[in-house]
Structure 1
């Protein structure tokens, strides 16, 4: 039986014999690499680190690592991997032991992606495709190449948001890997009946590296990328509209209650959801306490801004299994939209 939210928060993150630094890269499969290149490079302005006939390796303007977004030509759109960077290569060995104890299938690869060393790949008990690595090639930061920058500009990858029907169990899994909770949304009522609708968990001292959203899953709800200031979000919307791509704007601009982020959600040509994200806050103090939001609070999902469309709750990127097939999904037994009163989503 899953722990209650109170029990989960009282348990807190497990002490770990390894150090997961942050969310580091995502690999997305796309059906038309040229169309994806136009969206991510020409319109959003990401930096191309390398390009092959079937893949594109991208990074943000301040990033020194070789890539944070990998786009790969494929017959079906899906998320192939969610990558996390470790502080040291030796951390991978202790992590492998812990993951196996948590019911994950794990295996090793070496040099599977350009400029990367050995990596630990895992399929967690819920179906999410994870990868952990330390070694990756470094390139020059383009932070101050103001003469070249395009788009918002996007500076770096920030987080993954995962659609999960098993929120409490998934929350506990990430706590077992040493992740801390910054904020969460839950239903009202007696503690034993309280249910999670959303949760934000972090390793770096920001609001999150992994967020959980209640819904059909396992699926990837979105990839969050960090931009320097709210004006960049607005500038991106103007640029997309001017390029005839305004339909890519799914939700926002607006400000979240949770995280305080100024945001806009975009859909790429394959429907993968990208969040441009800025203005969150520091969580690095050891006594940081999780902030609770009631699911009935109209400010939790949107402090201000238009109501989220149904697509934001119902559509997400499906995941690839080790056999190259899509991972089956299951519906959640609670709909956040039905658990609230007149609420802006």
Structure 2
């Protein structure tokens, strides 16, 4: 590859009430508020030295402006621009200072119309990794991954691997087709996941915690603060990725995953792990069912030019939920 994409680095999502969003993310979940103004809240994890990883933007309707990837250098931005333009995909440059705390940024679309951004520079701040006196809520450490519903998982999987240099760690297959895909740039299970469904839409942003006890602790915090109904799924352990998880919906319905305990994928001879769609331990290692909302509800993406919702398409593989058969001993 002529460029080096490092990792999933930030997302910009709409919220309708900044105060309600701050109560949820900062007071309950323990995200660090780096800065805010009348239109934005900039959040980060305790170990992060970049200015933010999650931007809450005040708006009248839900939407995701872009999923951001950090690259190694400015030269990588030029190479990526050339790649996307050679594929007939529109690009847009945001010069340094256009976005708060951000260097020069390339915005574009992937092959299925999902808005992406790439940047090499972001303002830095003092880390709070050893400020144990400010740890609260989930004690969130850093952004980990994006998960998106897309109409053609196999096409997305192939584009990101063959054109952007991602590597497969795990995938779900049935009838010879890929129904879900976990791919990475940093050496963990994923920076990006794709699931079969109407899209493109953002399913969730995942954030890394230190350990499973942090997930159990934040469940108690959420309950004590009256956010029990924000828990959509979990706590539990995924078969895919092996991670301990908790899925939450913020006051505007944006879904976040609190995530810990996956594994290293550095070795070049690592072989991607195949899961059957109907394996009951794939999504949840303990085998319990998943709520319908988790399969079908997601946040729309916004066009990089006019902020209108990106058009979606039905899944080419149709609508098929996994069929689990309970086994009793």
- For the aligned pair, the TM-score class normalised by the smaller chain equals over 0.9
Distance 1:282 1:343, change over 3 A: farther
Find out whether 1:131 has 2:113 as its counterpart: no
Name the counterpart of 2:129.
Answer: 143
> How far does residue 103 in structure 1 lie from its aligned partner after superposition?
3.2
Write the distance in 2 (CA, Å) between the matches of 1:221 and 1:139.
29
Distance 1:146 1:291, change over 3 A: same
Asked if 2 retains the 8 angstrom alpha-carbon contact of 1:104 and 1:125, the reply is yes
**Candidates 314, 326, 330, aligned match of 2:309:** 326
Write the distance in 2 (CA, Å) between the matches of 1:18 and 1:316.
31
Write the distance in 2 (CA, Å) between the matches of 1:343 and 1:115.
51
Find out whether 1:169 has 2:178 as its counterpart: no
Runs of 4+, deviation exceeding 2 Å: 333-336, 339-344
SS for the counterpart of 2:270 is coil
Q: Deviations over 1:2-53 (max 9, x none)?
A: xxxxxxxxxxxxxx11100000000001111111111111111111111100
SS for the counterpart of 1:24 is strand
Find out whether 1:195 has 2:180 as its counterpart: no
Name the counterpart of 2:90.
Answer: 105
**Candidates 105, 118, 122, aligned match of 2:104:** 118
In angstroms, what is the RMSD of aligned CA positions?
1.3
Asked if 1 retains the 8 angstrom alpha-carbon contact of 2:154 and 2:179, the reply is no
Matches within 5 A, 1:160-239: 160-175=146-161, 176-188=163-175, 194-239=176-221
Q: Deviations over 1:87-141 (max 9, x none)?
A: 1111111111111223321111112222211111102231211000001111111
Find out whether 1:249 has 2:234 as its counterpart: no
Write the distance in 1 (CA, Å) between the matches of 2:18 and 2:285.
36
SS for the counterpart of 2:26 is helix
> How far does residue 248 in structure 1 lie from its aligned partner after superposition?
0.3
**Candidates 91, 112, 118, aligned match of 2:76:** 91
Name the counterpart of 1:5.
Answer: none
Higher mean alpha-carbon deviation, 155-164 vs 86-95, is at 86-95
Distance 1:138 1:290, change over 3 A: same
Name the counterpart of 1:7.
Answer: none
Write the distance in 1 (CA, Å) between the matches of 2:13 and 2:185.
23
Find out whether 1:50 has 2:35 as its counterpart: yes
TM-score by structure 2 length? 0.96
SS for the counterpart of 2:64 is strand
Write the distance in 2 (CA, Å) between the matches of 1:341 and 1:47.
40
Higher mean alpha-carbon deviation, 151-160 vs 167-176, is at 167-176
> How far does residue 343 in structure 1 lie from its aligned partner after superposition?
6.8
TM-score by structure 1 length? 0.91
Name the counterpart of 1:76.
Answer: 61
Asked if 1 retains the 8 angstrom alpha-carbon contact of 2:281 and 2:287, the reply is no
Structure 1 gaps, min length 5: 1-15, 189-193
Find out whether 1:313 has 2:295 as its counterpart: yes
Distance 1:343 1:85, change over 3 A: farther
Write the distance in 2 (CA, Å) between the matches of 1:343 and 1:187.
19
Write the distance in 2 (CA, Å) between the matches of 1:343 and 1:202.
32
Write the distance in 2 (CA, Å) between the matches of 1:196 and 1:108.
34
Q: Deviations over 1:240-265 (max 9, x none)?
A: 01101100000000000000000000
